[in-house]
Each structure stands twice: as C-alpha cells, then as structure tokens.
Amino acid sequence: MIKTAVISGGSGLVGKALTKKLIADDFHVVILSRSYHDNEENISYINWDKEGWEQQMPKADLLINLAGASLNKRWTKEYKKEILKSRLGSTKKLRYYLEQSGDKPYFVNASAVGYYPTTKHLTFTERDVFTPHNFLSEVVCRWENETNAIKEMGIEVACCRFGVILSNEGGALPVMAKPYQFGIGGNIADGRQVLSWIHIDDLTKAVLYIYEHRLTGIFNFTAPVPATQSDFGRALGKAIHRPHWTAVPRPVMNAVLGDQAVMVTEGQRVLPERLLTEGFTFDYPEIQSALNEIYSK
C-alpha cells in the first residue's frame, strides 16, 4: 500500500536523501516548495508560498519539517534573524494547517545538537536539559518549543537533533574536505574539539525507524562514536589519500567566519542514547568507516 510523506525543506541535502529513501520504502512524497516544480513519477510539489496551498495538501501518513535558512552563510545580525524566523515560521505554518485540517500525521521536526553546551570533556544524551546559552541553542530551544503546540493536538511528534551530517552531495563535508584536496588539511584550533556527526544513510534510516516504531520525543541523530576534529581530519585524509599536517589557529577562524566559527572551533560530545536503547543499529558507527564509504563512490 502506498503511503504519503510530506516534506518541507525537501530540496536540501537531508530532504533529497529522505525523498530517495521514502520512495524506496513505497511512499509517495509531496515536497513543500517556495517555487514551481513539475511533478515527477513518485514526487509531487506544492508551492506553499501561494495562497490556498492548504487545499492541495494530501492526507499524510508522515510529515517532516526541515525548512529553515541555511547555516552555511555568514551570520550577520540580519541573517541571524532570518535563521530563527525561517524555522519558527515554517513550524507555525504547519501547525496552523494541522489545526485547520484535523489531520494527525506522524510529525518529525528537524533540530540540532547545537542545543547542548560546547565542551571538550563532558558527554550529553537526550536526558540532559539546558536553557539557551548561545545563538544556536536559542534557535534550537525556540524551534523545539514550537512543536509542543503540535504535540498538544494529540499528534505524535519526534524532534531530531542532527549532528554534522556527512555526505558528498552537500552540507559541511565537501567544505571540510577542500583543504585536504589541496594538500593543506590539518587541525582547526587545537583539534581537540569534538564533532558529533552522522552518515546521511544512517540519518535517513533512523527517520524511517522512529516512524515505523512510532517513537516520540527528543532523539540525538549522531553516530555512537563521536570524533575529535583531529581524529576526523586524519580519517578524512586517509579516506581521500591526502595528508593531515597543517594547523589553523582559532583567531584566524574567528576573523574569517565571525560568530559562525563556533561550528568548527568548538563542539560537544553527543550520544544517540535513545536510538540505541530503542534498538536502532548504525551502519556507520565510526568515522573511518563512514568516510571510507562516502569516498569509495
């Protein structure tokens, strides 16, 4: 039986990978877009910037909210407002639709490990609760709070806190690999900051897993074995046969990236305790096997 999944933000890295995975799992995918697209065999598009978009919405089994402005642009004061506004706005828009339609699909909302404080020595799981401590954590907290109103409607809701998503199709990895491809890869700052990462295939597999098992609440979408930036770089260099030998001081990264530098100069060790407890098995639990698979294609 064909099921229906609706994805907002379906044109991004995660959205494209999820669309492919869902179609393979006998879903028809509906993508909420802000521009016109021709429908495809297993994919329909709805321009939800146009008035009356709600009337085109199908009765969905699964609704996935990934919409939000990219974090890969310089975080000016105005762009920070856009990062927050886009995430809160998309969630409110979906909540309003669900209120009006009365539909109760299983609801997945994207989130991020930026919720947790940056540290080199502590380890966090879903049981750890914090108040906002920087810009990213404020965005995550407010974004997740928007889903509470959806949960109060009697809808099953899962918030997925993504780590650094590894894929050669986009996201952070191609940018991180660029210095290595030129033979100048190495430590950023002291290299001891922890990257909580996840292979894109494990991410899409986990979304289907929590949906099929009707699991709700907070989930860390990170591999069970985080890596320091130094270990990550060495594994990346090995995967693409390039050296890991230079160093980029923290002040240089701060000067180049501004507030965005926190994403590469600081980190946190975040474990997927709930996924593991619920029986999910990672195909790529360690960084070397993940990068080897990605660069073997």
Q: pLDDT tens string for the chain (297 positions)?
A: 789 999 999 989 999 999 999 999 999 999 999 888 888 889 999 999 999 999 999 999 999 999 999 887 888 899 999 999 999 999 999 999 999 999 999 999 999 999 999 998 899 999 999 999 999 999 999 999 999 999 999 999 999 999 999 999 988 888 888 888 989 888 888 899 999 999 999 999 999 999 999 999 999 999 999 999 999 999 999 999 999 988 877 776 666 666 656 767 788 999 999 999 999 999 999 999 999 999 997
pLDDT at 257: 62
pLDDT at 73: 82
pLDDT at 297: 79
pLDDT at 252: 67
Contact between residue 191 and residue 229 where contact means Cβ atoms under 8 Å apart: yes
pLDDT at 261: 66
pLDDT at 141: 96
pTM of the predicted model, to two decimals?
Answer: 0.94
